[in-house]
Amino acid sequence: MLRARDYAEADRIVTLLTRDFGKLSGIAKGAKASRKRFERKLEPLSCVTLFFRRRPHGQLVFITRAEPGETLHPPLDDELTKLALGAYMVELADALMREEGEAARAFRVLEDALAAAGQGPPTLALRQAYELQMMEATGYGLDFARCRLCGNRVETLTGALYFVVARGGIVCGRCRPEAPEGAVRLEGQSALVLAHLAVTPLELIASATAAGRDGAAALNRFLMTILDRRLRSADFLDGVL
């Protein structure tokens, strides 16, 4: 569940990321009153099995029932940092996903990320790995493993690297004159860490190292460019993580 808000007297309008139907928005009539059909399942961060039907007109589907999901991740609301990270995860998924797009991979990434956040500890490495993998799942994959122009692997490069948004990854010092766009300067080590986080399964991320300030700045620059806004939950998360 990505977003939920009350509507009229007794209804709720919710937006979900679903495994089989992409991002979906729907209305649950009488949700606030009917504990039997919905049992307070329609809350952000919850994982549910949803019963719905499409309406001939209008974008909202008609939600008839919600049950506990197959995969229940540990609750996140017992710790502020976990809650902040979870809220950021769903807001980012919401911002990156288009309605009705193919979402099976994004669903899996979000599911694994919420599970990892619930099992804790909520770390910067988890945040960065999630950002990289959710971007990849929604068509914004970044390459930190090699120079986008000459193709040389980061391990073989010396000196500073440059993360160039328009190139979708890094450019080495030698190729930099050919890619003069604005860039975030990146240590080789940070690029290596980000390349690693992009492919590490999220359930194994607990022991991983996060990229430093320069790596975080590169990810932030890219997200700001494609989203054209800062996520509300990002400020809160920055304050606690």
Compute how many residues bind Zn ion; rule: CB under 5 A. 5
147 belongs to the binding site for Zn ion (CB under 5 A):
yes
Q: Which two tokens stand for residue 47?
A: 């994982």
Q: Which is nearer to Zn ion, 23 or 167 (CB)?
A: 167
DSSP, collapsed to helix, strand or coil, labels residue 52 as strand
**Contacting residue, 80, 115, 145, 149, with Zn ion by CB under 5 A:** 149
Piece in contact with Zn ion (CB under 5 A), picked from 14-22, 36-44, 147-155, 218-226: 147-155
Amino acid at the residue 76: L
In angstroms, rounded to a whole number, what is the distance separating the alpha carbons of residues 189 and 210? 11
In angstroms, rounded to a whole number, what is the distance separating the alpha carbons of residues 88 and 241? 11
Bridge-based pairing state of the strands 161-164 and 169-172: antiparallel
What ranges make up the beta strands (E) of the chain?
3-7, 11-18, 22-28, 48-53, 61-68, 161-164, 169-172, 184-186
Q: How far is the CB of 150 from Zn ion (least distance, A)?
A: 3
Q: How far is the CB of 1 from Zn ion (least distance, A)?
A: 43
Site string (157-176) toward Zn ion, x via CB under 5 A: ---------------x--x-
Q: Which two tokens stand for residue 221?
A: 């620059």
Q: Which is nearer to Zn ion, 20 or 178 (CB)?
A: 178
Q: Which is nearer to Zn ion, 179 or 224 (CB)?
A: 179
Q: Which is nearer to Zn ion, 75 or 159 (CB)?
A: 159
Report the interface residues with Zn ion, using CB under 5 A: 147, 149-150, 172, 175
